[in-house]
Amino acid sequence: MAFRDMTIPYTDQEIQDLRDIFRSLPTCTNDTILTTDFPALVIGMRYERTPEQIQAYQKYWLERNGGKLTLADFLDSAQSVYKTSLYAKDYAVKADKNQDGVISAEEFSSILELMQVHDPKLQGRSYEDFVKEADTNEDGEVDIEELTKWIEKYSTRPQSEQ
């Protein structure tokens, strides 16, 4: 099965297919799966990702949603992959776990893990480095907008396009 060009939005038919794949997964109950089924979804998305990248996404969902992923969240994410800015915003909003609008050192450490998958150069980056780089209005904090821009900068396109 050929990989898909992820810079193009999914069509209605493809979304319907993804919904069917999701609902056919072994752990699917009430349109919710356990993240153990997540790798099968990435294959269903025809998203060219390395096993390490899939593992990092799986860990991302595991930590954020207690090991569960709903169909609605999955489809939202799948549909936002094509547009880096949407994708970045999506992750930035979710990275702010306590929803105070600001990214703390602790919140940064989990987003960093995922971002390293996109850009290994980020390895070893400290929270202080991150604030220095991302805090464009220089108020000493990184807000959602600033994080979104920062993610956009480091996100990569599908590997086949590099």
The per-type count for the chain, helices as H runs and strands as E runs, is 8, 2
Show the beta-strand stretches assigned E in the chain. Answer: 32-34, 68-70
Residue 93 C-beta: closest distance to Ca ion, Å = 11
Q: Under rule CB under 5 A, how many of the chain's residues touch Ca ion?
A: 7
Nearest partner of 42 among 33, 111, 155, judged by Cα: 33
Polymer length of the chain = 162
Q: Which two tokens stand for residue 87?
A: 């994708």
Residue 148 C-beta: closest distance to Ca ion, Å = 12
- In the bound state with Ca ion, the residue whose beta carbon lies nearer, of 90 and 96, is 96
Q: Which two tokens stand for residue 34?
A: 């356990």
> For Ca ion, which stretch binds (CB under 5 A), given 48-56, 69-77, 88-96, 147-155?
88-96
Residue 43 C-beta: closest distance to Ca ion, Å = 33
- In the bound state with Ca ion, the residue whose beta carbon lies nearer, of 48 and 141, is 141
Q: Whole-angstrom Cα distance, residue 111 to residue 104?
A: 11
Residue 42 C-beta: closest distance to Ca ion, Å = 28
Q: Is 33 helix (H, G, I), strand (E, B) or coil?
A: strand
- In the bound state with Ca ion, the residue whose beta carbon lies nearer, of 5 and 133, is 133
- List the interface residues with Ca ion, window 92-151 (CB under 5 A): 96, 98, 100, 135, 137, 139, 141
Q: Is the CB of residue 144 less than 8 Å from the CB of residue 96?
A: yes
Q: Is the CB of residue 80 less than 8 Å from the CB of residue 86?
A: yes
Residue 109 C-beta: closest distance to Ca ion, Å = 12
Residue 90 near Ca ion by CB under 5 A: no
- List the interface residues with Ca ion, window 7-36 (CB under 5 A): none
**Interface residue list for Ca ion (CB under 5 A):** 96, 98, 100, 135, 137, 139, 141
